[in-house]
Amino acid sequence: MDRMQQVVGRARAAFNSGRSRALEFRMQQLKALKQMVQEKEKVILAAIRADLHKSEPNAYCHEILSLLGELALAMDKLKSWAAPQPVKKNLLTMRDEAYVFPEPLGVVLIIGAWNYPFALIIQPLIGAIAAGNAVVVKPSEISWNTSQLLADLLPQYLDQELYPVVTGGVSETTELLTQRFDHILYTGNSTVGKIVMAAAAKYLTPVTLELGGKSPCYIDTDCDLAVACRRITWGKYMNCGQTCIAPDYILCNPSIQSSVVENIKAALQEFYGEDVKSSPDYERIINKRHFRRILGLMEGQTIAHGGEVDEASCFIAPTILTDVSPESKVMEEEIFGPVLPIVTVNNVDEAIEFINRREKPLALYVFSNSKKLIKRVISETSSGGVTGNDVIMHYLLSTLPFGGVGKSGMGAYHGKHSFETFSHHRSCLIKDLKMESTNKLRYPPGSLKKVNWAKFFLLKRFNRGRVGLVVLVLLGIVAALVLKTVYY
């Protein structure tokens, strides 16, 4: 038996023992996870800094703060989330117990990403634990320091059999994907997403794929450009542009292009000062391979601002490209770096058409003083999520599901949506062995009279409230007595 088979086998045996199903156990594990995040905050921040050159305040805000919020929410709501949910009944089932019961899926696999290497593992893990699953955790090998830290910390705080951590690169992940799981959540690019989905198909394993794409940002001429560009600048250049829902490119009228550039430059000055490279708030590209990939996207483009690079430190300055052709290389793939192309369109109609000609993005942003225009863009396009007059902020609201559509992914999580993603919603109907006369409707031999009674029982609708409920009960009793008289 190879290593991956042993890891998954132990996790499945632990799940089959039933201990992860108890709400008390789930709560204990969530509390332990919170304790880990709080007690090991400094070493977590240090690992993130080593991987991404991220300052402590930024790392805390980007990777820890939201997790503490998710943990607090899960622990507060777990009992209600896991409770059976009663459903409406019809005349035939009015005496029965009918409910939806959330049950754990089993052994799930979470494959994290390197750009937010701690949060993109722990956040879905919270939902998977809350739902009562065993979880195999696979951090990204690209963010090596955080990956090793997770492998060290999680076994110290969580049940080691139920929540094992697997480290390693492509070969280890490939071997892991040969095992049978009950759900796989993967965060990363669409190329690997297809590999994950193909491996899952062998066992008909459901998947949640958090991918990416080119998230457009339309700026209307009727807009406060200073405010809009400050918010865009924050979202685009945080984490050195390595955010899956960062604005990938701007669409705007040619008449405001130069003003957009000037306002973004002013925001960059405000955020990072004269020397961006020395700013503690500006991160670095994760490695030289991605550094060179981003440089390749900039070739032949008009650089309106930035463009300075240093390969030794994987530094690329915040860069703005103007008059970008829709057919250029930089518009063919997700940039995932601090390069912001501006493509000009004459109006919102052209912007909508431009967006709809391309793959559905993970996020879409619209800036305008007109909410009517914003809602028009929402109604006439498709994307994983939308924020109007800001960027990224929809991700931070746990009541909104976070996920993609089409090529940008499938499935969603965050908050209660994480619990639901990692749960099977089991339909439950419990009857008794009385009032057998009502069942004559479904027993042979058939007749037109039985069909008419079935229509009454199954198709009749009543208004809500006490009066409707009383009528429903009385009719049920009368119908049962009539059926008993007719068929017995």
- Tens-of-pLDDT digits for all 488 residues of the chain? 589 999 999 999 999 999 999 999 999 999 999 999 999 999 999 999 999 999 999 999 999 999 999 999 999 999 999 999 999 998 888 889 999 999 999 999 999 999 999 999 999 999 999 999 999 999 999 999 999 999 999 999 999 999 999 999 999 999 999 999 999 999 999 999 999 999 999 999 999 999 999 999 999 999 999 999 999 999 999 999 999 999 999 999 999 999 999 999 999 999 999 999 999 999 999 999 999 999 999 999 999 999 999 999 999 999 999 999 999 999 999 999 999 999 999 999 999 999 999 999 999 999 999 999 999 999 999 999 999 999 999 999 999 999 999 999 999 999 999 999 999 999 999 999 988 887 888 889 988 888 888 888 778 765 555 555 555 566 666 555 555 555 55
What integer pLDDT is reported at residue 467 of this predicted model?
Answer: 53
Q: Torsions phi, psi of 355, nearest 5?
A: -65, -40
262 burial type by CB count under 10 A (0-12 exposed, 13-18 middle, 19+ buried): middle
What integer pLDDT is reported at residue 440 of this predicted model?
Answer: 83
161 is catalytic: no
What integer pLDDT is reported at residue 458 of this predicted model?
Answer: 78
Do residues 184 and 205 touch, judged by C-beta distance below 8 A? yes
What integer pLDDT is reported at residue 446 of this predicted model?
Answer: 86
Strand partners, 425: 102
Helix axes 23-39, 41-52, angle to 10 degrees: 70
What integer pLDDT is reported at residue 399 of this predicted model?
Answer: 96
- Annotated catalytic residue: which of 63, 70, 210, 334? 210
d(CA 486, CA 488): 6
Tokens (6 digits) for 377? 């863009």
What integer pLDDT is reported at residue 251 of this predicted model?
Answer: 98
Write the DSSP symbol of residue 274: S
- Annotated catalytic residue: which of 217, 223, 240, 244? 244
Given CA atoms 347, 350, 352, 354 in this order, what sign does their dihedral have? Answer: negative
What integer pLDDT is reported at residue 21 of this predicted model?
Answer: 97
What integer pLDDT is reported at residue 35 of this predicted model?
Answer: 98
What is the pairing mode between strands 423-430 and 97-104?
antiparallel
175 is catalytic: no
Tokens (6 digits) for 178? 């040969």
CB burial string 114-131: b at 16+ within 10 A, e below: bbbbbbbbbbbbbbbbbb
Tokens (6 digits) for 244? 């899956």
Give Cα separations from 392 to 205, 340, 369, 395, 444 (angstroms): 30, 16, 19, 6, 60
Strand partners, 209: 186, 410
Given CA atoms 232, 233, 234, 235 in this order, what sign does their dihedral have? Answer: positive
